[in-house]
Structure 1
Amino acid sequence: MRTTARLVLIAALAFCAAAVLPSAAQALPGPYVTTYADAPGRPRPCLNDTPTCRPVGIVKRGSHLVYCQTTGATVILGGYVSNWWVMTDLGADRVFIPALYVDNWDVVSRSLPYC
């Protein structure tokens, strides 16, 4: 009986944690960053042209709230290479853009949580 009670308690705690802790899609807002150019917003940090990776829009140059960082496909841009991506908003959607578009990425990345 004690084992059953423990399993029930563990299941209840796991359920509560899942309800309270944010997933990558519900990540808590982080800092604002500035992008120096328009960037393709993708549903995942990838580059192929499949339906699950195709850009869903353009994140315009300027200031954007970012939520988290993750690694993904390697991007080469203007002689720079990085596999880091950040999650930001594009209208009502959350999208990933390559971190190479973010000004001062080396500073921003230190305080941004992982997705």
Structure 2
Amino acid sequence: MRSLRIALLALGALIASMLLPGTAGAATVTPAAAPVFKAPFACGQTWTYSHHSAEVRRALDFVRTDGGPTAGAPVLASAAGTATRHSQAGGAGNYIVIDHGGGWRTYYFHLAAFSVPSGARVAQGQQIGTTGSTGNSSGAHIHYEQLLNGVGQNIRINGTALPYPGSYHQRYLTSDNGCGGGAGRYWVDTFAQTEGYAAPNTASPQGVLLQGTHYVYCKVWGARYEGVYGHNHWWLRTDLDRTYPGGNGRGAYVPAYYLSRWGNDEARDNSGNVIPDC
């Protein structure tokens, strides 16, 4: 029995040496690699940004400078994840938090409106809200943060760290979020004109896709779209032919219903290839 107790004590000491920090066998935890974050505004738009020294976390505030309006401009997900909606009347106003996994989250404050329900799974480049000035804000802007395990990080876009200017119009950023890619295009024929939307539902029309041959990038399962010829839950991400005032025609979603040649809940290109998921 004494030899068994000695053996158990030795085993306990070995396990402790593996768990306690500073010991030879200590286990190390490697931080999760960050997603490749993109700008929180639409493809091709240019915004200036600044950092207020009073900010608790490493936030940047963005204001549009390419001639388009800041107020009401689409706010896009920097990376894919799960979005939750929040409201803080005396502070952040209406805001979205996206959990990207691995401890990484992004925050988008002062939204005028939400574009996705709480708990929605969103794709990179998907509209999650519109720019506003709700809460403790003196004007329309996007207050943007990147956090790891609850700690604010220096913001990186496309893997490059941004500087932290003390005022606007010192630094500028042009977005490539939602631009799509030339190589990943799939050609389809639509039998009629259709509206395109900010998300895979009809809540927020952004413009029009004309009847004819178009490229699409990928598909997303979303709200059921019903028509005379059937139905479809698939939505195709593409660039619209016409954009409504204040809308975003890049990376919008159109119903795959308009590819009715393939049947209900099918999304294939003109050659019959299944369009990949976004």
Q: TM-score, normalised by structure 2?
A: 0.32
Higher relative contact order (Cα pairs below 8 Å, separated by 6+ residues): 1
Structure 1 moving runs of 4+ over 6 Å: none
Conservation of the 8 A alpha-carbon contact between 1:34 and 1:103: no
1:30 and 2:185 aligned = yes
Larger radius of gyration: 2
- Which residue is equivalent to 2:258? 101
1:45 and 2:62 aligned = no
- Which residue is equivalent to 2:207? 57
Conservation of the 8 A alpha-carbon contact between 2:191 and 2:259: yes
- Which residue is equivalent to 2:27? 3
Q: Distance in 2 between matches of 1:98 and 1:69?
A: 9
The match for 2:239 among 89, 96, 102 is 89
1:72-83 aligned at under 5 Å gives the runs 72-83=222-233
| Corresponding letter in the other structure for 2:259 | V
Q: Distance in 2 between matches of 1:69 and 1:3?
A: 42
1:19 and 2:26 aligned = no
Provide the aligned length of Structure 1 versus Structure 2: 102
Percent identical pairs in the alignment equals: 28
The structure carrying a bigger helix percent of its residues is 1
Q: Distance in 2 between matches of 1:73 and 1:37?
A: 20
| Corresponding letter in the other structure for 1:19 | V
Q: What's the C-alpha RMSD, in Å, of the aligned pairs?
A: 2.7
Deviation at 1:30, TM superposition (A): 2.7
| Corresponding letter in the other structure for 2:27 | T
Conservation of the 8 A alpha-carbon contact between 1:31 and 1:112: yes
Farther-moved stretch of structure 1 (98-107 vs 67-76): 98-107
Q: Distance in 2 between matches of 1:73 and 1:107?
A: 14
- Which residue is equivalent to 1:112? 275
